[in-house]
Structure 1
Amino acid sequence: MNTKRRKDMGDQKAKSVPIRKRITRRDFLGGAAMGTALAIVPRQVLGGSGNIAPSEKINVAIIGTGGQGIVNMKQLFNEPDVHIAALCDINEFSDYSMFYYGGTAGLKPALELVRQQYGQACPTYRDYNQMLDEEDIDAVLLATPDHSHAVISLAVIAKGKHLYCEKPLCRTVYETRVVTEAARKAGVATQLGNFGHSSEDIRLACEWIWDGAIGDVHDVHAWTSTGANRWTSLTDRPKETPPVPAGFDWQRWLEPVSARPYHPDYAPVRWRAWWQFGSGTIGDFACHHLDPAFWALKLDQSTTFSVEAGSSGTTDETCPAASLIYFHFPARAGMGPVRITWYEGGLMPPRPMELEASRSLGDNGILYIGTKGAILGGGWSRSPRIIPETKMQAYQRPRKTLPRVKGHHRNWLDACRGKGRPSTHFDYAGPLTEFTLMGNVAIRAGKKLEFDWKNMKVTNVPDANRFIKPHYREGWT
């Protein structure tokens, strides 16, 4: 890429605008400069009749072109006012055929998709800071491994870019708090990748619970059949030190955590099972499956809660193959105390007596137990139903009171243009992530913990606080 030429072209463009103050893309997209911009260049000249002008599109950069990064990029291709302006990853190519994503991933496959979509390539980078400095981008979609979410998010936010971050928001509670506060201060549009939060189904579940459809909710069960052994069978660091694959910058991939030799059980896909890089099954799934309970039961209104856990397959290096985690929340916001139970790795809640014999709980789901009945839903906030179905059919549904959105990515993009706030902005997604990650703290501490949420501190087991804040390598904070 010819950086000098890009800068020269930008200078010429700036001088050609006959106004005293140059209009930024952020102002333009937010509408503040629309009248002046249209007076300079007619839309038809730039975009053609019926098309969106390039100058009106949101320039989005993708950081992390692995399986989930490519999934998100394909979703953005469906949005006519988006242009994928740059790609950044430390990996050129990986075969994902043995994993649920299928196909290939990395910079080269992602770039080929961009070329197919637009008829031309876009700039690619290995260094996200360089990309943020050099490219004219409005927003970033971040889909890297958990351990790098915080440092990259902070760099993006510091540049004033809007940010969509895959879940969990960060790997640890402390990092999550720092990123949440930075985003709030910067005023950028943020969205977590728990797409079910933008669905109709999660809104229905909230409205029914607030309507008293099942009385006062006192227990919630949520589960996934997945455990860390989905990604690795190892319980300690591998002894082998195979060569780093060509085109893979292992040292940069490790940032900001401590160095160790490369092994395919870490990267590019299996990192989620390792405490150093991932946050295990609860980090992967709970921001989806526990999200409806977090919203409907107003758990963010608590200032304290307790958490205890049991697990199997947990070591100092690896996340559990299976776990059972209990969260106890006191009364808050007009709601009574509630116990939230998380199951993973094949553990399941008791079958509710209201559930018909022909129906199953499924591999992923959520079950609310109230004083007057129960609601069963699928994973990812899907398909809530009062059980049994005869009771669902007899229920007089309340008026819809929550705002509806047109789609998770669309909702974020609208916010990038200054149209409302994203449905799972970091002021919501941060506390949701902190809540779920405290399950990992309890697993690693091995004791029941009393958590002072406001001050981010375990009050009864001081040693557990070492799992709240991560340890970075020298030179990183």
Structure 2
Amino acid sequence: MTLKNNFSRRDFVRASGAAGVGLSIVPAHVLGGPRHRAPSDTLNLAHIGVGGMGGGDVRGMAGVGENIYALCDVDERQAAGSWSAFPRAKRYRDFRTMLSEEADNIDAVLISTPDHTHTAAGMMALSLGKPTRIQKPLATTIWEVRQLVAAAERAGVATQMGNQGHAQDGTREIREWYEAGAIGEIRRVEYWTNRPIWPQAILRPTEAHHAPPWLEWDLWLGPAADRPYHPAYAPFNWRGWWDFGTGALGDIGCHAMDAAFWTFDLGTPERISAESTTLFAETAPAASRIEYDFPARGDRPAVKVVWRDGNLSPPRPEEVPDDARWPFESSGQLWIGTDGKMFAGIYGENPRLLDAERDAAIRADPPAEKYPRTDGVYAEFAAACKDGPPAGSNFVEHAGPLTEMVLLGNLSVRSGREVRLDPATGEILDGVSIPESYVKPDYRSGWGW
């Protein structure tokens, strides 16, 4: 399977900026009509998937003053909290119906469904010209990521992926500390996580179950191939199934790898190799270790990124005493430089240097704030919808390339092979055969675009 980019995201952004065509919505008053409002006014929001993290997104947008206009969920129990908190919001079970019926009434769409429905919902929202926010990972496959990026380019609207660490101070501090030479040149970054915290490395269940009355199972399946309902899939354990989720790497990688991807402009790796526990056809392994090798780019030297999940952790750094807890947290990141090491949480939060004296010194005299702080991920998206600056993790410049890089690791895991790529084009080299379904899913009738 050849993975090749046929468009340049950076060229698009550069060209659109030169032409004065920003990545924001056309002011609503230009479109006319009594139901349209100027973009400086309160946004009417449509949320797809409003339980769990989706419920947090609903509350987050309400918390920055936007109007929760419509809520859509296939699971009445999962949605109950959001429905009761916003009783005036219109309720839907099928996002296709909601978007069709409310296209003239909504200003932006937020998608917090299981991963496998992200693209179908996102493509419909973007086709309607609506600013769109999608929870991480942006999609389950590289083909879907590229479809969303291309659609965002065509629509020219505000977009954002829900990897909230990118809007937080820690990610900016990491980059500012690095650029100030706090630990020298970085040649290696280590990540680890306690995920999966759901079942993986399992076979498809064979016993029969009836879907509970509060769940519209066919709508939950959405674009995925038909299969009988089983509690092994919904409402929570879907992440470990390749048809619905992207395993531990897809769940946490877009959070964890964000700061390094942004700081170093990592782009596409030239080599990925993976080790894992026993592979299963339909589910991610119980644990894996993945190495990404990124070539030198500009003044930045080559960088190796090492990912571990399933409670695997990197070796204890020499700066950490034998009687101290290691790792510091169940999930985290360790930046290894020529002049020291830096630890941060999985979202880039609370960075610190492992050398206590140097850590105290940089806190006493921190580098100047080079990268503007935000008011948080929800305020950032709302501002972008109202002709403000593009969200940092917008689809075109950041979220799409980041998700694509993360998902490449799953190709190596699932195929059990080292994968070599041309970093300039994304083309897989050396004749490694990647099954088509790993790159581009087959959608059920009625769920494509």
TM-superposed CA distance for 1:77, in Å, is: 2.3
Does structure 1 residue 337 correspond to structure 2 residue 314?
no
Task: Give the structure with the larger helix fraction.
Answer: 1
TM-superposed CA distance for 1:247, in Å, is: 2.7
- 2:279 and 2:376 map into 1 onto residues whose CA distance is 37
Larger Rg: 1
Does structure 1 residue 293 correspond to structure 2 residue 260?
yes
Which stretch of the first structure deviates more once superposed, 392-401 or 127-136?
392-401
**Equivalent residue of 2:293, what SS?**
strand
TM-superposed CA distance for 1:139, in Å, is: 0.7
* Contact 1:63–1:87 under 8 Å retained in 2: yes
Matched letter for residue 317 of structure 1: E
The normalised TM-score by structure 1 is: 0.83
- 1:60 and 1:453 map into 2 onto residues whose CA distance is 38
Identity of aligned residues (%): 37
Matched letter for residue 459 of structure 1: L
- Give ranges in structure 1 of 5+ residues lacking alignment: 1-18, 31-55, 94-104, 116-120
* Contact 1:298–1:333 under 8 Å retained in 2: no
TM-superposed CA distance for 1:453, in Å, is: 4.9
Which residue of 2 is the match for residue 78 of structure 1?
63
Which residue of 2 is the match for residue 133 of structure 1?
100
* Contact 1:449–1:461 under 8 Å retained in 2: no
TM-superposed CA distance for 1:313, in Å, is: 4.1
Per-residue CA distance 1:295-334 (angstroms, 9 max, x = gap): 112102x5x5211101114301111111000000000131
Which residue of 2 is the match for residue 114 of structure 1?
86
Q: Which residue among 39, 43, 48 is the counterpart of 1:63?
A: 48
In the TM superposition, 1:408-423 aligns within 5 A as: 408-423=377-392
- 1:183 and 1:207 map into 2 onto residues whose CA distance is 30
Q: 1:476 to 1:452 in 2, by over 3 A?
A: farther
In the TM superposition, 1:126-275 aligns within 5 A as: 126-135=93-102, 136-227=105-196, 230-232=197-199, 235-275=202-242
The normalised TM-score by structure 2 is: 0.87
Which residue of 2 is the match for residue 445 of structure 1?
415
Per-residue CA distance 1:222-272 (angstroms, 9 max, x = gap): 110112xx2226611101110011031111211212111110101121100
Which residue of 2 is the match for residue 98 of structure 1?
none
Which residue of 1 is the match for residue 38 of structure 2?
28
TM-superposed CA distance for 1:476, in Å, is: 5.0
Which residue of 1 is the match for residue 17 of structure 2?
none
- Give ranges in structure 2 of 5+ residues lacking alignment: 1-28
Matched letter for residue 62 of structure 2: F
**Equivalent residue of 1:286, what SS?**
helix
**Equivalent residue of 2:76, what SS?**
coil
Q: 1:375 to 1:21 in 2, by over 3 A?
A: closer
Does structure 1 residue 354 correspond to structure 2 residue 354?
no
**Equivalent residue of 2:402, what SS?**
helix
**Equivalent residue of 1:379, what SS?**
coil
Q: How many equivalent pairs are there?
A: 412
TM-superposed CA distance for 1:473, in Å, is: 3.1
- 1:281 and 1:461 map into 2 onto residues whose CA distance is 27
RMSD across aligned positions (CA) = 1.9
* Contact 2:200–2:284 under 8 Å retained in 1: no
Q: 1:84 to 1:20 in 2, by over 3 A?
A: closer
TM-superposed CA distance for 1:451, in Å, is: 2.1
TM-superposed CA distance for 1:27, in Å, is: 6.5
Matched letter for residue 113 of structure 1: A
Which residue of 1 is the match for residue 3 of structure 2?
none
